[in-house]
Amino acid sequence: MSKPHQGARRSYGVRTAPYGFLFPAAALFLLFFALPIGYAVRLSFHKIEVKGLGLGKGAKNEVWAGLDNYTAALTDPELLHSALRVLGYGVIVVPVMLGLALFFALLLDSERVRARSFARLAIFLPYAVPGVIAALLWGFLYLPDVSPFHYLLRAAGLPEPDLMDGGLLYGSMANIAVWGGTGFNMIVIYTALRSLPAEVFEAAKLDGCSELQIALRIKIPMVAPSLVLTFFFSVIATLQVYNEPTTLKPLTNGITTTWSPLMKVFNDAFVGGNIHAASATAVILAIATFLLSFALLRASNRRTTQGAPR
């Protein structure tokens, strides 16, 4: 009489096992991702109302603000200026980083390359350096008083450019991002190249194609999904730039406390003490990032569908 009961319990355990494995990940997602986002959205629709001098118990109350915080954020010129600065920064970072990543991946995939393992590790190694440490290292290399580059230029009697101010500041910060991110994108593209069938390249060689022609006409089109993936990663990372300008700020007067949108969010929340306005700005940035990523993904899928053979 106990055997059917045991069989039912075993069947029930098999059916519920996947949910048990998913529970830890779902709980972590809820606690550290979904709930903070929901709390930030809640804060964005409220504000602090001060009565009298703001002293004493009950002088400051959280009240409903509606869309006031969003209206103030969207009409704030500092947010627009910070977004334009990040746009100029991204125009340098994304194409240079992905171009170098593709170049190195194609170079490592070539049959003529030597010391492939060492070269792959050397290119990827900067990605393992924390962003703050990388920004500090490059920041001191940019300072005229301690930089060996400025010493060599001074010894040669050549002009010393100020890499921490003006238009060159964009290139200086972009250089840090390119130095640190090229290796990761290279690994993604190189892995896709190594998974391609060798028969395709052998057939192309028999037809008289050179290495350059194989790279341009076969390899790059076949790893297009990886290029799109790395492009999305790079765009999102550019929109969220924070480490480089924040770390370099004490070294120069060319970087303000609201140089990037995320720096403005931090400044509003923890310097200005207006966490509700900062939450509204953060929500706007999240929505803008999502819409931009969605638009780029749809455009990429449409182009891939149109170019696919029928």
Amino acid at 20: G
- Model pTM score: 0.85
> If you classify domain 76-273 with CATH, what class do you get?
mainly alpha
**Sequence-ordered list of residues with C-beta below 8 angstroms from that of 80, at least 6 positions apart, any chain:** none
45-to-31, 40, 63 alpha-carbon distances in Å: 21, 9, 9
| pLDDT at residue 301 in the model | 73
Tokens of 17: 């096992």
| pLDDT at residue 159 in the model | 87
268 has pLDDT over 90: yes
8 has pLDDT over 80: no
**Residue of 44, 87, 89 lying closest to 292 (CA atoms):** 87
Lowest mean pLDDT among 58-67, 147-156, 266-275: 58-67
| pLDDT at residue 230 in the model | 92
Distance CA(134)–CA(131), nearest Å, equals 5
| pLDDT at residue 5 in the model | 59
The domain limits of the chain are 76-273
The pLDDT tens digits for 219-253 are 999 998 899 889 988 998 998 899 999 999 998 88
Beta strand pairing call for 46-50 and 60-64 = antiparallel
Confidence of residue 310 (pLDDT cuts 50, 70, 90): very low
Kindly state the percentage of the chain with pLDDT values over 70: 91
Q: Chain-wide mean pLDDT for the chain?
A: 87
Mean pLDDT value across residues 158-183:
90
263 has pLDDT over 60: yes
SS3 159: coil
Task: Specify which of 14-23, 144-153, 238-247 reaches the highest per-range mean pLDDT.
Answer: 238-247
**Sequence-ordered list of residues with C-beta below 8 angstroms from that of 54, at least 6 positions apart, any chain:** 60
Confidence of residue 54 (pLDDT cuts 50, 70, 90): low
Lowest mean pLDDT among 68-77, 131-140, 209-218: 209-218
CA dihedral sign of residues 32, 33, 38, 41: positive
309 has pLDDT over 50: no
Beta bridge partners of 63: 47
1 has pLDDT over 50: no
| pLDDT at residue 4 in the model | 53
